[in-house]
Structure 1
Amino acid sequence: MIRLDNISKQNGPRLIFIEASAALQKGEKIGLVGPNGAGKSTLFRLITGQEEPDEGQILTDKGITIGLFSQDVGEMSGHNAVAEVMNGAGPVSETAAELTQLETALADPDKFDQMEDILERFGEVQARFEELGGYALDAKAREVLHGLGFSQEMMESDVGRLSGGWKMRVALARILLMRPDVMLLDEPSNHLDLESLIWLEQFLAGYDGALLMTSHDREFMNRIINKVIEIDAGNLNSYSGDYEFYACQAALNEKQQQAQFERQQAMLAKEIAFIERFKARASHAAQVQSRVKKLDKIERLEPPKRRQTIEFDFKPAPRSGDDVANLRGVSKTYGSKTIYDELDLLIRRKERACVLGINGAGKSTLLKLVTGTAVPDSGTVTLGGSVKLGYFAQHAMDLLDGEATVFETLDNAFPHAGQGVLRNLAGAFGFSSDEVEKRVRVLSGGEKARLVMALMLFDPPNFLVLDEPTNHLDLATKEMLIKALSNYDGTMLFVSHDRHFLAALSNRVLELTPEGIHQYDGGYTEYVARTGQEAPGLHS
């Protein structure tokens, strides 16, 4: 359907693709992977014709429709969510617009002498509209929006009033309703809660077109894709199979490449040592010359390009008392909505409690009550003895000083730490030696989240409260964070929609329901096994 043929692309001094080739066939569901800045978004723009390759060509089958979802959703206002989704549904929305114009023309007395032609065209367009499923479009749009977490009330309200995250969902719904021949989805799993994520997973599993997508959610990728294209130093490498298979295969390839490189280095060292030893002896002149010629002909192997992961030893958290947080008779309402009514909850030392619940169940409110950033209407929230609290929430990124560099931010927070230690800390959170000089105001959402996490974990608290800590984090940083938190010996209370993160770190589940909190001993994996569902909103 789409073929990339020896494409090269340069942005300023940076080479993004060098004679790279790949193909996207009907029925293929491909995960596009590579480090941040490798060129994933550029590839989408090349396929859709928003940019041209410097060399090579992109061949697209005639007549195919392509739908692109990107993080840049543009302006939206003046329509409700249903209308906005239907307006972007491709040929069917264009046909609907023409049908509306023809209906207006039929009622216009000034066009009486053209009535026969208008009626004939109306019949053709109406038949086409029906063939495209136009009369079911409103119901389908509502079904997609419902799957992505919209209430009936939100569907009917002006999209201009929605937050950025909800506008993203509207833009995604547009592409899903369109059902193009080829879907290009750039981070569709961002901004989705667990229920919406699982619904989208099922939708894409049943989609029969070709799919190329990026995602920082490995579980989501694993369940959808059947092929991986990796952007690696300007090349496009294809792997058949899911993300798990790709990760194993890429690691194996790197290991083999490293072993070949080391064998060649050992051989070269041996030959060079012989030449150095005997180059002054006339009796060995012929042998020395022969070996010099042999060395000149050998094609030197490159060491594997290591995926940069810097290990960092985090300090152990100081010990707290056994009762870490105690909520007694807590009630909380927002307007007419009761979030908690006489809630009792005890968080004990070394628990890693994940909080699950549908949108609006009160997950973030619970974290705010525990951290003291929200006050209960009645009841008490008490932190235990020697508790040192660390709270990660999305607003923490807004509190960073935009004019300071990454390094200055760390240095201001920890003035007594050595420069080398802070550079290692920055490296562990994905900031290379050059990137530590970036000013905070130019950082992406993911980079800011990584910086806040570094500030929090360098001198770790013994009670970590995390609200969606993996939002915007790439796969490599998530793995680093999971590894760091696996060795963390304090207490955790957290909300996340990343199932890999939930399964790796939780040892207790708090499920928020209209009837109150259901508590489960054992982590997220045990919760899924016990309930048969991956999220509370999916209970039948």
Structure 2
Amino acid sequence: MIQLTEVTLMRGSKVLLRETDATINPGQKVGLIGANGCGKSSLFALLRDELQSDHGEVSVPQGWDVVSVAQETPASPRSALDYVIDGDTRVRGLQQALEAAESAGDGQALARLHGELQDAGAYDIEARAATILAGLGFAPDSLSRPVSDFSGGWRMRLNLAQALLCHSDLLLLDEPTNHLDLDAVIWLEKWLARYSGTLMLISHDKAFLDATVDTIVSVEQQQLISYTGNYSSFEKQRAERIRLQDIEYQKQQQKRAHLESFINRFKAKASKAKQAQSRIKQLEKLEDLLPAHSQSPFSFSFFEPPKLPNPLIKIEHVQAGYGDKVILENVHLNLVPGSRIGLLGRNGAGKSTLIKLLAQAHPPLAGSVETSSGLRIGYFAQHQLETLRADDTPLAHLVRLDKNATEQQLRDYLGGFGFNGDAALSKVAPMSGGEKARLVLALMVYQKPNLLLLDEPTNHLDLEMRHALNLALQAFSGAMVLVSHDRFLLSSVCDDFYLVDSGQVAPFQGDLDDYRDWLLNQTASEVASKKTQSANNSGPDRKTVKRLEAEFRQATKGLRETIKRAERQMHQCQQCLQDLEQTLADTSLYEDSAKQQLRDVLDKQQAATQQLQDAEAEWLEAQEMLEQQQAEFDRAMAS
């Protein structure tokens, strides 16, 4: 096990951890959370033996392979596939030793090295690396491209692929979803569900934490506090503790009243559609968890726009893309005040292209884009972090927007985004990604937009800032189009989803669970399509094909039964968790006399969550084995 005993950790004169203890058991999956700058990444460096504690002891089992994601990627001429495999230094070392033994004609060494390569997984390493890269969004024809061809975000995906490929007893992942789209995040969740080692994960993505961890370690007032269960369970426990202990909770009542009003208005006009009901549930969950965020340093809201023309933007028969490359065809979209649209679609389908079209960053290739007089666009994308003036301060950036406001007014405004005191006068250059993102958001909000175009706005934002952004978006009166891999944000602020796929943009009937099912069905359809193509190009006669297919169905019968059993188990666990959520909504459960009952319900929730994760892992493993055997069968038939 990993043991921290009375550990004190300092960076310069700042105390990050003070005489704190923690225990992490083998196979445990831990979410490490806390405000930016509290010491999470430094704790990772401590576990990698890159830092030494200033006091106390840190014990990691001797002989454990500790793997984390490299933060830098050289502009290498190596192909993407070779670069990922290079991360497994053991395999590469054995391969070099084998080449030397072959040159020397050392038969004894050759026999030994072949055995060690087999044990190290060298003979299927290319297939495993290609599978991981495909899951992270790399197209098959991109695996041979040099690393230098890829942008920074894609290079970080290559580094993540390296970490996932290597054998590890302890896997340290620091914000692994920052450069991923929703499809890749869902794939990574499934991969981590099957991971058998010890996982420590830093993330500000609630849904990702809920799906991947069974324990939360929270950095609070320089201490490591452990909570049993996933992030949602942590929020409930912390919210209840604050309700009982913190009188400061009363300052949240104004926000609660506002959110209750919003929920009631939404309920009054919502249909019985699944998406509408899902949205109501997320809003009510936000209301219940307000106490857990009562001490957040962030608090802001969108100003009422000077005008709300209707419609704001009208798109008819639009063709969008770049140069001669057409990405979207025949797009129709009418954005009116109150529109809240979340864009879904696989990587490269054109979500960002549509956002840029709406932002007028690129003209349409064909068709009509009509904008109303008085349109004010608030556009947030990651590249805008680089447009900040490195030598200027947050205050100086804001002064350029409003020379008539007093310094105190601007300082008060910046304080809602965490730029208090000297932070408002600090230069942008040394700021973290999270600080720059907060500043870009602050500048956007100050300009009173009536149309928000948000492309992955939560990248680099910590949990408290995400919560503040979520609350602010609830009260926004204009229109909004959102691309995000943060499913909690998508489900709680979007009324409608649009699917971007195969060059088309169309309303998506369903919620995010339905979208996950759609992704799985798409994968299955692609496998079936390949099977059909192979059959059309194959030589065996019809009778032989039927016999072989029957034999294949019999051989894979066990896998198919496992998949059906896991699906039943997943459905039962999901129903159980829904029932437990209703039980936890009963306020009498939080009275002193019901403490044991509350603990029992939370234990049942944790057990059901674990059973759901186990069933999902079993389903995914069986599904992947079936697809692998199907692919092998198709190749055999084609040959």
Aligned mates of 2:324, 2:396 — CA distance in 1: 45
Does the aligned pair in 1 maintain the 2:136–2:184 contact within 8 Å? yes
* 1:329/1:380 contact within 8 Å kept: yes
Specify which structure has the higher proportion of helix: 2
Measure, in 2, the Cα distance between the counterparts of 1:442 and 1:155: 35
**Which amino acid in the other structure matches residue 440 of structure 2?**
V
Residue in 1 aligned with 2:72? 73
Post-superposition shift, 1:228?
A: 0.9
Q: Are 1:532 and 2:527 counterparts?
A: no
1:342 aligns with 2:330: yes
- Within the candidate set 141, 152, 170, 1:164 is matched to 152
Q: Equivalents in 2 of 1:413, 1:99: separation in Å? A: 65
Secondary structure of 2:308's counterpart equals: coil
2:52 maps to: 52
> 1:243 and 1:251 mapped to 2: Cα distance?
12
Cα shift readout 1:335-385 (whole Å, capped 9, x = no counterpart) = 664212333332233111122222221111112222221012222211124
1:215: Cα distance to partner? 0.6
- Of 404, 420, 436, 1:432 maps to 420
CA RMSD of aligned residues (A): 2.5
Partner amino acid, structure 1, of 2:335: I
Residue aligning to 1:176: 164
Which stretch has the larger CA shift, 329-338 or 381-390? Answer: 329-338
Post-superposition shift, 1:124? 0.7
Specify the code of the residue in structure 2 equivalent to 1:493.
V
Report if aligned partners of 1:511, 1:518 keep a CA contact under 8 Å in 2. Answer: yes
Shift of 1:464: 1.3
Does the CA contact (< 8 Å) of 1:8 and 1:55 recur in 2?
yes
The 2-side partners of 1:308 and 1:497 are apart by 23
- How far off its partner does 1:58 sit? 1.5
Q: 1:228 to 1:379 in 2, by over 3 A?
A: same
Aligned to 1:202: 190
Distance in 2 separating the partners of 1:64 and 1:167: 27
The answer for the alignment partner of 2:433 in structure 1 is: 445
For 2:294 and 2:366, locate their aligned partners in 1 and report how far apart those are by CA, in whole Å: 55
Partner of 2:505: 517
Aligned partner of 1:77: which letter?
S
Aligned-pair CA distance for 1:100: 2.8
Displacement of 1:532 in angstroms is 3.4
Give the letter for the 1:400 counterpart.
Answer: L
**SS state of the match for residue 401, structure 1?**
coil
Mapping of residues 20-99 of structure 1, within 5 Å: 20-70=20-70, 72-99=71-98
1:417 is aligned with what amino acid? A
CA 1:500–1:253 in structure 2 vs 1: closer, same or farther (change >3 Å)? same
Letter of the 1:475 partner, please give it: L
Q: Which residue of 1 aligns with 2:140?
A: 152
Aligned partner of residue 156 in structure 1, secondary structure? coil
Residue of 362, 367, 371 corresponding to 1:374? 362
Counterpart secondary structure, 2:6: strand
- Between stretches 483-492 and 411-420, larger displacement belongs to 411-420
Write the letter of the residue equivalent to 2:38.
A
Shift, 1:205, TM fit: 0.6
Distance in 2 between the 1:413 and 1:537 partners? 47
What is the rounded CA distance, in whole Å, between the counterparts of 1:324 and 1:24 in structure 2? 53
Residue 32 of structure 1 aligns to which amino acid in structure 2? L
1:484 aligns with 2:472: yes
Task: Output aligned runs, 1:117-516, within 5 Å.
Answer: 118-258=106-246, 307-334=295-322, 337-514=325-502, 516=504
Cα contact 1:357–1:537 (8 A) shared by 2: no
Identity %: 33
Q: Any idea what SS the aligned residue of 1:482 has?
A: helix
Contact 1:339 1:361 in 2 (8 A): yes
Q: Where does structure 2 lack aligned partners over 5 or more consecutive residues?
A: 251-291, 526-639
Aligned equivalent of 1:283: none
Take 2:377 and 2:419, find their aligned partners in 1: how far apart are those partners? 26
- Kept after mapping to 1: 8 A contact 2:77/2:147: yes
Q: Distance in 1 between matches of 2:25 and 2:233?
A: 20
In the TM superposition, residue 51 of structure 1 has moved relative to its aligned partner by 1.0
C-alpha displacement at 1:527, in angstroms?
A: 5.4
Q: Write the distance in 2 (CA, Å) between the matches of 1:535 and 1:375.
A: 34
**TM-score, with length taken from structure 2:** 0.72
Residue 333 (structure 1) shift? 4.0
Judged with a 3 Å threshold, the aligned counterparts in structure 2 of structure 1 residues 208 and 448 are, in CA distance, closer, same or farther, namely same
SS in 2 for 1:478: helix
Instruction: Specify whether residues 539 and 345 from structure 1 end up closer, same or farther in structure 2 by C-alpha distance, changes over 3 A only.
Output: farther
Q: Across the two proteins, how many residue pairs are aligned to each other? A: 484
**Larger relative strand fraction:** 1
Rounded Cα–Cα distance in structure 1 between residues aligned with 2:248 and 2:72: 47
Amino acid across the alignment from 2:153: G
Stretch moving more, 379-388 or 231-240? 379-388
What CA distance in whole angstroms lies between the structure 2 residues aligned with 1:520 and 1:470? 23
The answer to whether the Cα contact below 8 Å between 2:33 and 2:217 also exists between their aligned partners in 1 is: yes
SS in 2 for 1:434: helix
The letter for the 2-side match of 1:369 is L
| C-alpha separation in 1, matches of 2:4 and 2:330 | 61
Cα distance in 2, alignment partners of residues 459 and 333 from structure 1:
29
Deviates more, 1:473-482 or 1:248-257: 248-257
Q: Deviations over 1:238-277 (max 9, x none)?
A: 1111011112222333343336999xxxxxxxxxxxxxxx
What is the CA–CA distance in structure 2 between the aligned matches of 1:76 and 1:213, rounded to whole Å? 27
Larger radius of gyration: 1
Residue 103 of structure 1 is matched in structure 2 by 102
CA separation in 1, counterparts of 2:296 and 2:412? Answer: 12
Contact preservation (8 Å) 1:463, 1:492: yes
Q: Give the C-alpha shift of residue 90 in structure 1.
A: 4.4
Deviation at 1:486, TM superposition (A): 0.5
The answer to whether the 8 Å contact 2:385/2:437 transfers is yes
Amino acid corresponding to residue 12 of structure 1 in structure 2? G
Between the aligned partners of 2:332 and 2:16, the Cα distance in structure 1 is 55
Kept in 1: contact 2:169–2:198 (CA 8 A) = yes
- Residue 440 of structure 1: SS of its match in structure 2? coil
Query: Cα distance 1:535–1:74, how it changes in 2: closer, same or farther (>3 A)?
Result: same
**What amino acid does structure 1 have at the position aligned with 2:12?**
G
2:349–2:503 Cα contact (<8 Å) kept? no
